[in-house]
Amino acid sequence: MAITMISTFCNRALEVLQIEAEAVRQLAQYINADFEQACQLLFHSKGKVIVMGMGKSGHIANKISATLASTGTPAFFVHPAEASHGDLGMLTAGDIVLAISNSGETAEILTILPVIKRLGITLISMSGNPASTLAKLSDVHLCVRVEQEACPLGLAPTASTTATLAMGDALAVALLDARGFSADDFALSHPGGSLGRKLLLRLSDVMHKDSQVPIVRRHATIKEALLEISEKGLGMTAVVNDDQSLAGIFTDGDLRRILDLKLDIHSTAIEQVMTTPCTTANADMLAGEALKIMQQKKINGLLIIDQNRTPVGAMNMHDLLRAGVL
């Protein structure tokens, strides 16, 4: 009985995914002149994009507005019912309204259309019905019609909301690309969380500096290098020339590799067993970029050097973990 029940759940879930995937695939036919016109209007707009929707369409509208705002197109969500009671005051000349309604007949949206028209504000709509009142009154209509909802009753918005969300993403990414929106631009609107730290933090923010940087001269003994590694606690030490320029690096991994050589750690110079050349970075490098390099090269530590190749910092994976980058 339990196995049959699980099979029923999985089969239904697969049907849902197939229906919704097909709904998104069918949107390709609506990437046409209307979509191009909508993008042109949004791209050249000097104002904001006000996204509206009721019910489930409202939740989708909220997400679309957030995606637009975070990718270079100033946008925010306004609830249509609240708009009728004062929030239309947020609209100014030059703004564009993006109204979302699957039926195209949502009363709360239709109620405020005369005011939007009177203000001379451009109206772009998304609906599943090109013959609807909303579509006819819009300057541009984007069709998001689906053949069927994933809900077997045909009542709960499922495939239709997925298609609408996908069309919103298509708009946002097309505009992002047209604006030349970069990772640095993206970082400015995402300063919080792991994403923001990866995009904004630089090695100068997380590296060990000054006396915390493990350094020994190339003529130092292995024992002296081990004492420096132990004292600074980074699992490595920079090895420098007499002019303080970087000569190489000695790590815990190097120590394990030389154990079988039976070297005298009290007399053998570190330059004989150090790794050279070694991977380095500059202080202005993004922490996320440094993480990628360390993962690609399968190393746990990184030395930061200046223009004279003098070590000015050091860091390891634990530092990135503490900073929230990893």
Which CATH number characterizes residue 273's domain?
A: 3.10.580.10
Same domain, 169 and 309: no
Question: Residue 202's Cα: distance from chain center in Å?
Answer: 17
User: What's the pLDDT tens digit per position in 250-281?
Assistant: 998 888 888 878 888 899 999 999 998 999 99
Is the pLDDT at 199 greater than 80? The verdict is no
Residue 152 in tokens: 């077997």
Identify the pLDDT of residue 286: 86
In a domain, 194, yes or no: no
User: What's the pLDDT tens digit per position in 14-26?
Assistant: 999 999 999 999 9
Same domain, 161 and 62: yes
Residue 66's alpha-carbon distances to 133, 178, 190, 234, 319, in angstroms, are 27, 18, 12, 41, 32
Same domain, 101 and 177: yes
Same domain, 141 and 246: no
User: What's the pLDDT tens digit per position in 132-167?
Assistant: 999 999 999 999 999 999 998 888 899 999 999 999
Same domain, 85 and 174: yes
In a domain, 193, yes or no: no
In a domain, 258, yes or no: yes
Range of the domain at 263: 203-322
In a domain, 267, yes or no: yes
Q: Are 152 and 13 in contact (CB under 8 A)?
A: no
Identify the pLDDT of residue 229: 92
**Angle 206-226-230 (CA atoms, 0-180°, nearest 5)?**
50
Mean pLDDT of the region 55-80: 94
Q: Structural domain tally of the chain?
A: 2
In terms of DSSP H, where are the helices of 100-188? 107-118, 133-137, 159-179, 183-188
Same domain, 173 and 213: no
Identify the pLDDT of residue 5: 61
**Residues 256, 315, 216, 307, Cα dihedral to 10°:** 130
Same domain, 98 and 210: no
Same domain, 224 and 267: yes
- Phi first, then psi, for residue 158 (nearest 5°) are -130, -75
How does residue 195 score in pLDDT terms, banded at 50, 70 and 90?
Answer: low
Q: Of the residues 130, 150, 181, which one is the last residue of a structural domain? A: 181
How does residue 113 score in pLDDT terms, banded at 50, 70 and 90?
Answer: very high
User: What's the pLDDT tens digit per position in 44-62?
Assistant: 999 999 999 999 999 999 9
How does residue 63 score in pLDDT terms, banded at 50, 70 and 90?
Answer: very high
State the angle between helix axes of 287-297 and 193-200 in degrees (0 to 180), rounded to the nearest 10. 90
Same domain, 172 and 304: no
Q: Are 288 and 196 in contact (CB under 8 A)?
A: no
